[in-house]
Amino acid sequence: MISKEYINDILKGYDLNKLKICTLGSHTALQITKGARDEGFENLLLCTKKAAGFYRELPAVDDVLEIDSYGDILLDEIQDELIDRNVILIPHGSFVEYVGSKNIIESLRVPMLGNRLVLEWESDRKMERRWFEEANLKVPREFKSPDEIDCLVIVKFPGALGGKGYFLVKNSAEFHRKLKVIDLPENIKKDYTIQEYVIGTRFYPHFFYSPLDDKLELLGMDIRYESNVDGLVRIPNVIQREIEIDPSYVITGNVPVVLRESLLPDLMNVGRNLVKTSKGLFKPGIIGPFCVEMICTPELEFICFEISGRIVAGTNLFIRGSTYSDVLYDEPMSCGRRICREIGVAIERYKLDEIIY
């Protein structure tokens, strides 16, 4: 594991006037580069050949370093070059997916925003469930064996599949029938999670926790747009029955949403409980952006089923700020920009080592 002392030593050697904000050219790179620019930092994107041309043309992008594949960020010569260029990495969803949380924790020597350990917690279903439970949050029921299924359930598979292959069943016979025909590798098929399908409205709030001020902010909120389930609801029930199409949950986009205002205090408590618990589970706890995937029931309770401990793609809706960030800031405040602001404040207060790991 890359130790905190190692990262602190690298930070000590950095010329803070030449700091560069860097990430992979994908996912939320647009708002991270624009946010860096708005906060007075230079930025650098690591891009594959295919993505390089697109990002180079954008006015907010300062520099692009081409690599053959995103995993190449682990190559010693690339890491040395990034350190030579005073880089701070910002992890995002594609970053974690392509490089892998284990590799980031074990072998990435370049300073990175946030506590790396959170990447392990957010990418393991059992660990995130433990985090939710210790934070006293409500979670969907889970069934150890298909024989126990006694309600509508969603069957999920590991890895950042973006909902690929997930299916709904009402009993064990249906479970076995559908599992047999699902188009996934056998080792992934075996590692299913059977979860109660919670019927309600989904909300994906974008939180930001500043350890410098011990303050939690709500920067925005979205709902994932998923194919084909969000298309199926446009077909009348009688026709759905005739065509017998199973729903799938592949993410294809995001739509903005606001929460009924009277529920906001409860929502902030969900975020606060997660921050507080994280400090005990993986010291010093979560730093910066995170998002909780939740369903609000008719009883107005939040059932939490997933957490991302880094910037999420839904924040791309709010490059010019959201209803919620506008309440907190008199300027357009994207999540990418908020990250860069935290880095700027940390430099001013000589506390960079408190947010970089």
Contact 172, 147 (CB under 8 A): yes
Which lies closer to ligand ADP via its Cβ, residue 132 or residue 249? 249
Instruction: Determine whether 177 is exposed, middle or buried from the number of CB atoms within 10 Å of its CB (0-12, 13-18, 19+).
Output: exposed
Q: How far is the CB of 216 from ligand ADP (least distance, A)?
A: 22
- The two tokens of residue 148 are 């126990």
Closest residue by Cα to residue 319 from 122, 58, 50:
58
Q: Which string of b and e fits 14-27 if b means at least 16 CB within 10 Å?
A: beeeebbbbbbbbb
| Nearest alpha-carbon partner for 198 in 120, 293, 285 | 293
Say if CB 257 and CB 291 are below 8 A apart: no
Q: Which stretch binds ligand ADP (CB under 6 A): 45-53, 158-166, 212-220, 278-286?
A: 158-166
- Hey, how many other C-beta atoms are within 10 angstroms of the C-beta on 106? 12
Q: How far apart (Å, rounded) are the C-alpha atoms in residues 117 and 105? A: 7
Q: In whole angstroms, how close is the CB of 286 to ligand ADP at the nearest point?
A: 18
The contact mask relative to ligand ADP for 87-126 (x = CB under 6 A, - = no) is ----------------------------------------
163 contacts ligand ADP (rule: CB under 6 A): yes
Residue 27 interacts with ligand ADP (CB under 6 A): yes or no: no
For ligand ADP, the closer of residues 197 and 329 by Cβ is 197
List 41, 98, 131, 305, residue binding ligand ADP (CB under 6 A): 305
Considering only residues 161, 179, 182, 235, which one is a binding residue for ligand ADP as defined by CB under 6 A? 161
Strands 63-66 and 42-47: parallel
Residue 112 burial (CB count, 10 A): 24
Query: CB of residue 226 vs ligand ADP: minimum separation in angstroms?
Result: 5
The H or E element containing residue 118 is helix 117-122
> Per CB under 6 A, does 132 bind ligand ADP?
no
Q: Among residue numbers 191 through 250, which ones bind ligand ADP (CB under 6 A)?
A: 195-198, 202, 224, 226, 249
**What mask of x and - would describe binding to ligand ADP in positions 247 to 286, judged by CB under 6 A?**
--x-------------------------------------
- In whole angstroms, the minimum distance from the beta carbon of 238 to ligand ADP comes to 24
Task: Candidates 100, 140, 284, 344: give the one binding ligand ADP (CB under 6 A).
Answer: 140
Neighbours of 332 (CB within 10 A): 16
Which residues does 137 contact at the CB level (< 8 Å), separation at least 6?
270, 273, 274, 302, 304
Binding of ligand ADP by 156 (CB under 6 A)? yes
Residue 342 as a binder of ligand ADP (CB under 6 A): the answer is no
Binding site for ligand ADP (CB under 6 A): 140, 154, 156, 161-163, 166, 195-198, 202, 224, 226, 249, 293, 295, 305-306
